[in-house]
Amino acid sequence: MDRRHVLKIGAATALLTGSPAVLAKRSDESADVVVVGSGGAGLTAAITAFDLGVKVIVLEKMPITGGNTQLSAGGMNAAETVIQKKKGVEDSWKTMYDDTMKGGKNINNPQLVEILAKNSAGSIDFLLSLGADVTDLGRMAGASVNRTHRPTGGEAVGHNLVHTLRQNAIKRGLDVRTGARVLKILSDKQGKVAGVEAEDRNGRKYKINAPVVILACGGFSANLERVTKYRPEYAGFSSTNQPGATGDGLDLAAALGAKLIDMEQIQIHPTQAAGSKILITEAVRGNGAIMVNREGKRFVDELTTRDAASAAVLKQTGKSAFLLFDQDIRKSLKQIEGYYHLELVKEGETPQELAKACGITDGGALAATIKKYNDYQAAKKDEEFGRADMPRPIKTAKFAAIEIRPGIHYTMGGVKIDTKTRALRAKDEQPIPGLYGAGEVTGGVHGANRLGGNSISETITFGRIAGAEAAAYAKAARKKV
């Protein structure tokens, strides 16, 4: 193997697992900005701050970078983008704002939602400039138009974005450390951030002196004890999240007196594959799939909001349902192939055969349901449930289905931030000097319910803002020294 190729692999591996040089260095250090977390928000913030000329260190407690962003499947919502314009899709930031507020039951912070919507097109431009593929368009539940941007052919967005962000971090020589847990955010006598106390994978503690800390370490959907503290009725549910999503950032912020909001707003996703932790992307429904119960009947608008769809599934026999599609829908979305590889899909040449394979009690009822839906699709009017977007009929054998049930997916609550992503104190809602937040660790953007596609949009947009604001703060702090 060519030695240069070995070095290139080594650089990529260092970003994923932490370089030996970094691990050996355990005396106190200094930086301008410390970013806690290396998902979409963290890497975006780090790249943005680095490009503005400050020294950045990224600390990730897990053995690999990527966080929940790595698992994201559906796509990234954005309005008035160059991709939409090329495809003739008419959209506006105001429509995206309205959809988001409606989906969140209007308890969202309107200022943050406006920032999300107005800056979404710029965030697509930012990703394109880094080399990401977000050129395919689809629609997720709760959206009025096709604004979900994803890789070519409808592939999962998360892997593409994390790969792009990692490569850009490597290219810049960013200091990204895995297996690095932040134990405490340090502050001075005036209450200003002064750095962090951290612990490496070998249990050695050290300090990084820095005037700025950006929390971008995600929510707490994988912390079932914390989830059930706020929502006891979710006891026994499984989580779709990576195991590091335990809410550490909330504790770090609260220890500095930060305000936490909307903590009881916890989202369950309607389409987790039954008997597994695999999330079936909302894009399957967006591309035309329907949901049926064990009696072979539809029971909900498949593109309603996640909370409504989950509640409807839980009312069905066995508290589960089946996501049903055909070969045309399969061909329209590359992600579906992965579900076949994972052996999650049942098939039949006819609806009756599919019903038998799935344990649906009435094959005739399933056949009638599919025919009725196809009639609605041809007429462009769903007379039963009012589904607005029905892009394809379901008529090309083999017919296929995946059994699904709701799972804990996202925590809408978190650290309260202002429009500059500054963390606010609980006692007076004034900014904590030097503490910023972006992504799922924060609250206020999504209200009572997050729309599919808005999480990636939030991480990139607010990650960019946090990175820029942190860099400006750090430069100002530099001048005062």
Section 230-252 average pLDDT: 95
Q: DSSP characters for 390-428? A: ----S-SSSEEEEEEEEEEEEE--EEEB-TT-EEEBTTT
Please determine, for residue 12, whether its predicted confidence score (pLDDT) is greater than 60. Answer: no
Distance CA 302, CA 300 (A): 6
Q: Which amino acid is at 175?
A: D
Question: What is the average pLDDT across 423-439?
Answer: 98
Q: Which amino acid is at 209?
A: N
Query: For the segment 52-82, what is each residue's pLDDT rounded down to a tens digit?
Result: 999 999 999 999 999 999 999 889 999 999 9
180 phi/psi in degrees, rounded to 5: -115, 105
Contact by Cβ (8 Å): 79, 57? no
171 in Cβ contact with 146 (< 8 Å) = no
Tokens for 421, please give them: 């992503």
How far is it, in rounded angstroms, from Cα 441 to Cα 414? 5
Average pLDDT, the chain: 93
Cα–Cα nearest to 442, from 252, 308, 282 = 252
Q: What is the DSSP string of 104-139?
A: TTT-S-HHHHHHHHHTHHHHHHHHHHHT----EEE-
pLDDT at 31: 98
- Both tokens of 350, joined, read 């006819």
Give, for 309, the enclosing helix (H) or strand (E).
helix 306-314
Instruction: Give which of 1, 40, 106 is closest to 444, Cα–Cα.
Output: 106
141 burial type by CB count under 10 A (0-12 exposed, 13-18 middle, 19+ buried) = buried
Query: Smallest Cα–Cα separation from 416: which of 425, 407, 403?
Result: 425
Extract the tokens encoding 312.
């409807």
Q: Please give the average per-residue pLDDT across 23-52, as a whole number.
A: 90
Q: What are phi and psi of 306, to 5 degrees?
A: -60, -40
In tens, the pLDDT along 355-383 reads 999 999 999 999 999 999 999 999 999 99
Bridge partners, 248 (sequence order): none
245 touches 71 (CB < 8 A): no
* Residues 279-328 pLDDT 10s: 999 999 999 999 999 999 999 999 999 999 999 999 999 999 999 999 99
Query: What pLDDT band is residue 481 in, cutting at 50, 70 and 90?
Result: low
User: Both tokens of residue 245?
Assistant: 């999503």
Using CB atoms within 10 Å of the CB of residue 10, give its burial: 0 to 12 exposed, 13 to 18 middle, 19+ buried.
Answer: exposed
Residue found under tokens 């008419």 = 90
Per the listing, tokens 């009696």 go with: 295
Sheet with 76-77, strands from edge to edge, namely: 76-77, 148-150, 136-138
Predicted TM-score of the model (pTM)? 0.87
Give the Cα-Cα-Cα angle 246, 461, 247 (nearest 5 degrees). Answer: 10
pLDDT tens-digit readout, 318-341:
999 999 999 999 999 999 999 999
How distant is the alpha carbon of residue 352 from its chain centre?
Answer: 37
Regarding predicted confidence, which is higher, 153 or 398? 398
The single residue listed with the structure tokens 């190729």 is: 5
> How many angstroms separate the CA atoms of 469 and 256, rounded?
20
The token pair at 139 is 């629609």
What is the pLDDT, as a whole number, of residue 225?
96
How far is it, in rounded angstroms, from Cα 363 to Cα 320? 18
pLDDT at 8: 34
| Residue 256 pLDDT greater than 50, yes or no | yes
- Residue matched to tokens 């939030």: 458
C-alpha–C-alpha distance, residues 98 and 87, integer Å: 22
Q: Are 148 and 183 in contact (CB under 8 A)?
A: no
User: What's the pLDDT score for residue 155?
Assistant: 86
Q: What is the pLDDT of residue 21?
A: 42
**DSSP conformation class of 239:** B
Residue 475 is inside which H or E element, if any? helix 454-480
Say which residue, 471 or 3, is predicted with more confidence. 471
Q: In this predicted structure, what is the pLDDT of residue 163? A: 97
Amino acid 26: pLDDT: 62
Radius of gyration of the chain (CA): 23
Q: Give the Cα separation of 384 and 367 in Å (integer).
A: 16
Tell whether omega for the bond before 398 is within 30 degrees of 0, i.e. cis: yes
What share of the chain in percent tops pLDDT 70? 94
**Distances from the Cα of 274 to the Cα of 94, 237, 289, 318, 401, angstroms:** 37, 11, 17, 11, 12
Residue 270 CA to residue 89 CA, distance in Å, equals 28
The dihedrals phi and psi of 20, each to the nearest 5 degrees, come to -60, -35
Mean pLDDT for 125-150 is 96
Angstrom distance (rounded) from CA 426 to CA 254? 9
* pLDDT reading at 413 higher than 70: yes
Distance CA 443, CA 386 (A): 31
Cα distance between residue 449 and residue 440, in whole Å: 13
pLDDT band at 397 (very low <50, low <70, confident <90, very high): very high
Is 306 catalytic? The answer is yes
Q: Which of 139, 166, 306, 330 is catalytic?
A: 306
Is residue 245 within 8 Å of 382, Cβ to Cβ? no
Output b/e per residue, 189-200; b: 16+ Cβ within 10 A: eeebbbbbebbb
pLDDT of residue 277: 87
